[in-house]
């Protein structure tokens, strides 16, 4: 299904354009008013004029003057992230070094070292994230090094990305998919980790709007249709609380806030429920104006007032007052039973906590002034620095490791002495051991969790008390990598295994040296690389290791040609290796120009393609093509579980695709049907599918248990339109409660 893009007509005269640019710039000055010190206005004017001059011939895809983008980014930095003058100057200049003739020396002359360093960081990030480099995930390290150097770099980059997402309408479809995937995969989790909840939520919603347009529109419409009754319910819920809080003498605000479309969709998927069954479509927020020393006490008093009015769910109490999240978030969350038997989430926090929740890192710095305690933010940065400076190779797994180690939610566990340690969700006893010290992790043989003996692979939960048991004889093995999620544990285990490998590889080096001397070849880097390519080992170290463990016996050495002391691999093998490494065969079949116009259906024989097994697309699904290295072009649905990762890491391999109508080809898909096990219900289903709608059923299984039946039907359909009609007709049958599509094996 091809989405058509309407590029907004931007046709202001030159004079009107100048006025618009000045109007936007004055708007920026207005939001900065409270932060301006003597001399700041002049510096801002210089930055604005420098950027306007540098970008004067450039336009955005929508046709508007490019300078409006840096002004908008600067405004987001001030209004939504709470940054100051220096950051505003950097935001105005953030694209100049990369896209125009302005150099870092020019910026240094005008604004000094601090601004130059931040602009340099932003330029490096752009060249990493926004190019078609296969090294995207590897280069992510550079971004993070800049982040720990000066976190303002990443905050300005997040503002830049947010504005790009807000103006994505004018981009081509495949560009929309690539940018949205990158946003959901890297930038939204990063915004969350920096404590910028509003930005994270908006990024997720905007990414979903382009990646899953139908679902997005469906939930947005449902939200808009139910707005009136929701507002009435919120008012009824709030009324008694308001009276009690006023009576208790609190200075407070109370209001209902709708949940984001993305989080509602996640709930629907996770719990397997329809929109109507998602109970927390909104949250009630109570903001208390409290003195710093009374904050905790006041929040608990408010909690007490709420639970006097409504019954709380004991499992749903979240206390981030006693244990704030590492991104600075503090609040008390509870879920209570409201009127008409509906569960309602209530969030209690103070004005200060709210500012930290919305402005994240910038607000955290503001409140930190004058305090000397190391915050959780600082600890988090310290952990990232530690992970980045480890000598491990720059692997493609780094981004995934970073996501599980640093972007996941965290749990709190305790040492035997009662000290609190923060770990990402999914961390094991072994992660905890490495968190205590590398030496403890390396010698870990087991653990006691809450005084019970458990294996090192035991997953930890918040509140666990963990004691590590060590043995001098223990050493890490490759299986350990399956038990750990933290970057520190992974890198230390890999280091130890590498060291072990090196020791064994020494023996391989000795064997290879003897063999090479025997045929008159030199033991040098060039010959080692030639052999590594021939035997398809990843590196010289792997080559020597495999020789040592007798996996490679070097009998093919006799087929090599010798030029002086240089080895050259036998011709045919060399060609195959080159083909595989440098030129994925599929790329020879078409060039990027043709790829823009691939049509499935009648013209599908123009190019070889296959449908991805992970999401089994059918005509009418929103899809993209992905060039694999060896299996040709694979077609995935844009809401495929692997879509975000593929498009974020390998955007240059994404190919625009659309379906052509073709009623000749059928596609196998599956439906899961759940309903009441009533007499004749199965007959009704089969009669509708094969009798009325004439679909060909490939397989059908029905299981009934205690009055509920679950049926799985595999059927052949021509396209999504047919499938949607079938789902709607099935849902209309009496006794059917759910019909879901699933991907057949």
User: With bands split at pLDDT 50, 70 and 90, how would you rate the model's confidence at 560?
Assistant: confident
Give the per-residue pLDDT at 423. Answer: 85
Question: What is the distance between the alpha carbons of residues 343 and 333, in angstroms, rounded to a whole number?
Answer: 13
Question: What is the distance between the alpha carbons of residues 51 and 91, in angstroms, rounded to a whole number?
Answer: 10
Task: Report, as an integer, the average pLDDT of 534-552.
Answer: 80
Give the per-residue pLDDT at 161. Answer: 92
Q: Is 98 a catalytic residue?
A: yes
Report CA 308 to chain centroid distance, whole Å.
40
pLDDT over threshold 50, residue 371: no
Alpha helices in 639-686 (DSSP H): 643-649, 681-686
Task: Report, as an integer, the average pLDDT of 191-217.
Answer: 88
Question: What is the distance between the alpha carbons of residues 399 and 380, in angstroms, rounded to a whole number?
Answer: 17
Task: Report, as an integer, the average pLDDT of 205-216.
Answer: 91
The CATH architecture of the domain made up of 667-742 is 2-Layer Sandwich (3.30)
Task: For the chain, give the percent of residues with pLDDT over 70.
Answer: 82
Interacting residues of 102 by C-beta distance below 8 A, sequence separation 6+: 50, 54, 93, 96
Alpha helices in 212-332 (DSSP H): 213-225, 227-247, 261-271, 295-309
CB 655 within 8 A of CB 595: yes
Stretch among 60-64, 388-392, 625-629 having the lowest mean pLDDT: 388-392
Question: What is the distance between the alpha carbons of residues 354 and 286, in angstroms, rounded to a whole number?
Answer: 10
User: With bands split at pLDDT 50, 70 and 90, how would you rate the model's confidence at 664?
Assistant: low
Q: Which residues are 676's β-sheet partners? A: 708
Q: Find the catalytic residue in 20, 99, 130, 280.
A: 99
User: With bands split at pLDDT 50, 70 and 90, how would you rate the model's confidence at 149?
Assistant: low
| 481: DSSP letter | G
Task: Identify the top-confidence range among 204-218, 394-408, 545-559.
Answer: 204-218
77-103 pLDDT, tens digit per residue, is 988 888 888 889 999 988 888 888 888
**CA-based nearest residue to 209, from 246, 252, 165, 239:** 165
CB 358 within 8 A of CB 200: no
Beta strands in 364-513 (DSSP E): 410-414, 420-424, 444-449, 452-454, 466-470
pLDDT over threshold 70, residue 166: yes
pLDDT over threshold 70, residue 625: yes
Give the per-residue pLDDT at 571. Answer: 57
**CA-based nearest residue to 304, from 259, 245, 358:** 245
**Average pLDDT over the chain, rounded to an integer:** 79
CB 624 within 8 A of CB 612: no
Torsional sign, CA 554, 555, 558, 560: negative
For 336, the 3-state DSSP assignment is strand
Question: What is the distance between the alpha carbons of residues 712 and 120, in angstroms, rounded to a whole number?
Answer: 56
Higher local confidence (pLDDT), 123 or 338: 338
Q: Find the catalytic residue in 79, 98, 149, 710.
A: 98
Alpha helices in 437-524 (DSSP H): 438-442, 487-519
Per-domain boundaries in the chain: 14-211, 221-363, 495-582, 585-659, 667-742
Three-state SS for 98-128 is HHCCCCHHHHHHHHCHHHHHHHHHHHHHHHH
Question: What is the distance between the alpha carbons of residues 658 and 595, in angstroms, rounded to a whole number?
Answer: 11
Q: Is 542 a catalytic residue?
A: no
227-276 pLDDT, tens digit per residue, is 898 889 999 999 999 999 999 999 999 998 888 898 888 888 877 778 87
pLDDT over threshold 60, residue 587: no
Report CA 392 to chain centroid distance, whole Å.
23
Stretch among 12-26, 246-260, 517-531 having the lowest mean pLDDT: 517-531
HSE, side-chain direction, 13 A CA sphere, residue 615: 18
- Do 14-211 and 667-742 fold alike per CATH? no
pLDDT over threshold 50, residue 636: yes
Task: Report, as an integer, the average pLDDT of 715-722.
Answer: 85
Alpha helices in 476-635 (DSSP H): 487-519, 525-534, 540-548, 571-582, 592-595
CB 380 within 8 A of CB 406: yes
Pick the CATH number of 221-363 from 3.40.50.300, 3.40.50.1220, 3.30.460.10, 3.30.1300.10: 3.30.460.10
For 284, the 3-state DSSP assignment is strand
Burial of 427 (0-12, 13-18, 19+ CB in 10 A): buried
pLDDT over threshold 60, residue 582: no
> How many residues are recorded in the chain?
745
Integer CA distances (angstroms), 522 to 512, 535, 543, 561, 565, in order: 10, 18, 16, 13, 5
Give the per-residue pLDDT at 174. Answer: 79
Angle, vertex CA 260, rays to CA 259 and CA 263, nearest 5: 95
Stretch among 397-406, 440-449, 503-512 having the lowest mean pLDDT: 397-406
Does CATH place domain 14-211 in 1.10.3210.10? yes
pTM of the entire predicted model: 0.65
HSE, side-chain direction, 13 A CA sphere, residue 244: 16
Give the per-residue pLDDT at 300. Answer: 95
Stretch among 4-18, 279-293, 429-443, 697-711 having the lowest mean pLDDT: 4-18
Higher local confidence (pLDDT), 745 or 287: 287
Angle, vertex CA 77, rays to CA 94 and CA 376, nearest 5: 110
pLDDT over threshold 80, residue 66: yes
User: With bands split at pLDDT 50, 70 and 90, how would you rate the model's confidence at 382?
Assistant: low
């Amino acid at each position: 299904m091809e989405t058509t893009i309407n590029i907004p007509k931007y046709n202001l005269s030159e004079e009107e354009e100048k006025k618009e640019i000045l109007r936007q710039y004055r708007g920026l000055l207005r939001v900065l008013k409270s932060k301006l010190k003597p001399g700041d206005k002049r510096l801002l004017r210089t930055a604005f004029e420098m950027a306007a001059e540098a970008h004067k011939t450039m336009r955005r895809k929508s046709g508007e003057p490019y300078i409006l983008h840096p002004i908008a980014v600067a405004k987001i930095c001030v209004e939504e992230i709470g940054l100051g003058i220096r950051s505003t100057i950097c935001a105005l200049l953030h694209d100049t070094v990369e896209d125009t003739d302005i150099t870092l020396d020019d910026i240094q002359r005008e604004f000094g070292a601090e601004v130059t360093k931040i602009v340099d960081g932003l330029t490096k990030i752009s060249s990493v994230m926004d190019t078609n480099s296969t090294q995207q995930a590897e280069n992510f390290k550079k971004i993070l090094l800049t982040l720990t150097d000066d976190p303002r770099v990443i905050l300005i980059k997040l503002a830049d990305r947010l504005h790009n997402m807000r103006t994505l309408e004018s981009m081509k479809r495949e560009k929309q998919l690539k940018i949205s995937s990158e946003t959901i995969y890297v930038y939204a989790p990063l915004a969350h980790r920096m404590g910028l909840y509003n930005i994270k939520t908006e990024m997720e919603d905007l990414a979903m709007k382009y990646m899953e347009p139908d679902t997005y529109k469906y939930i947005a419409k449902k939200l808009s249709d139910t707005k009136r009754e929701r507002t009435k319910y919120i008012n009824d819920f709030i009324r008694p609380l308001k009276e009690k809080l006023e009576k208790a003498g609190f200075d407070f605000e109370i209001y209902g806030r709708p949940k984001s479309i993305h989080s509602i969709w996640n709930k629907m998927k996770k719990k397997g429920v329809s929109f109507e069954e998602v109970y927390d479509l909104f949250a009630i927020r109570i903001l208390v104006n409290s003195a710093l020393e009374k904050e905790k006490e006041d929040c608990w008093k408010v909690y007490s007032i709420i639970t006097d009015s409504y019954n709380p769910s004991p499992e749903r109490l979240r206390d981030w007052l006693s244990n704030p999240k590492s991104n600075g978030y503090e609040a008390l969350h509870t879920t209570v039973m409201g009127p008409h038997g509906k569960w309602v989430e209530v969030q209690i926090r103070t004005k200060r906590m709210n500012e930290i929740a919305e402005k994240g890192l910038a607000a955290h710095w503001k409140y930190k002034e004058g305090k000397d305690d190391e915050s959780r933010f600082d600890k988090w940065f310290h952990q990232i620095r530690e992970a980045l400076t480890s000598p491990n190779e720059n692997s493609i797994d780094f981004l995934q490791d970073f996501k599980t180690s640093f972007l996941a939610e965290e749990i709190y566990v305790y040492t035997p002495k009662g000290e609190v340690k923060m770990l990402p969700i999914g961390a094991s006893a072994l992660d905890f051991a490495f968190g205590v010290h590398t030496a403890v992790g390396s010698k870990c043989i087991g653990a006691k969790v809450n005084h019970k003996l458990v294996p090192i692979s035991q997953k930890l939960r918040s509140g666990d008390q963990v004691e590590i048991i060590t043995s001098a004889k223990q050493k890490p093995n490759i299986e350990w990598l399956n038990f750990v999620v933290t970057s520190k544990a992974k890198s230390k285990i890999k280091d130890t295994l590498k060291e072990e490998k090196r020791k064994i590889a020494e023996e391989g080096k000795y064997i290879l040296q003897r063999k090479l001397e025997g045929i008159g070849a030199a033991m040098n880097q060039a010959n080692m690389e030639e052999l590594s390519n021939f035997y398809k080992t990843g590196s010289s170290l792997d080559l020597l290791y495999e020789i040592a463990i007798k996996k490679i016996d070097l009998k093919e050495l006799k087929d090599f040609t010798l030029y002086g002391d240089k080895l050259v691999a036998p011709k045919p093998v060399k060609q195959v290796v080159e083909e595989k490494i440098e030129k994925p065969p599929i790329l020879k079949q078409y060039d990027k120009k043709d790829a823009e116009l691939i049509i499935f259906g009648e013209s599908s024989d123009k190019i070889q393609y296959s449908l991805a097994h992970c999401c089994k697309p059918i005509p009418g699904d929103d899809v993209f093509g992905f060039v694999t290295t060896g299996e040709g072009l694979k077609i995935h649905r844009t809401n495929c579980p692997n879509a975000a990762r593929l498009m974020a890491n390998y955007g240059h391999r994404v190919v625009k695709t659309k379906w052509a109508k073709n009623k000749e080809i059928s596609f196998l898909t599956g439906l899961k049907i759940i309903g009441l096990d009533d007499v004749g219900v199965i007959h009704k289903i089969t009669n509708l599918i094969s009798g009325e709608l004439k679909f060909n059923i490939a397989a059908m299984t029905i299981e009934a248990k205690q009055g509920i039946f679950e049926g799985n039907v595999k059927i052949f359909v021509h396209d999504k339109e047919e499938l949607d009609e079938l789902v709607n007709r099935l849902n209309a049958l009496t006794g059917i409660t759910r019909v879901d599509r699933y991907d057949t094996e």
